[in-house]
Amino acid sequence: MTVSSNECERTHVVVRYEVGFDPALAEIISEVKYMDQLGFDVPADAKTIALLEHQHVLRVSALKQMLKRFYDVLDQLDVSQVHLPISD
C-alpha cells in the first residue's frame, strides 16, 4: 500500500499494540499446580513453567506499563512528528 503525502495530511491513522496472552496459559499453570499438589505425575517442564508464574505476571505488567508510557508520549506528539513506516 502506498500513501501519498496529501493522503497522509488528511488521514490520521492510529496504530495500537496490546500485551495479550492466551487466557488458557493461566488456566494451565493453575491446573499444573493443583495436579502437583494432589500428587499426580506432572512433567518437569510443566512444573518449571508453573514455578515461573510470578515472573510471567510481573513481565506482563511491566510490558503493559511500558506501552502506556509509550502511548502517553506518542499522544503528545504532533501528527507531523510521528513517522511510522507503512508496508504493503
Burial string for 47-65 (b: 16+ CB within 10 Å, else e) reads eeebeeeeeeeeeeeeeee
pLDDT computed for residue 1 by the predictor: 38
DSSP state of 52: T
pLDDT computed for residue 6 by the predictor: 45
pLDDT computed for residue 23 by the predictor: 81
3-state secondary structure of 69: helix
pLDDT computed for residue 3 by the predictor: 40
**Average pLDDT by consecutive 10-residue portion of the chain (88 residues)?**
44 71 86 93 90 88 92 80 60
CA dihedral 62, 63, 68, 71 (to 10 degrees): 150
What is the residue extent of each domain of the chain? 5-81
Instruction: Please give the model's pTM, rounded to 2 decimal places.
Output: 0.60
pLDDT computed for residue 56 by the predictor: 85
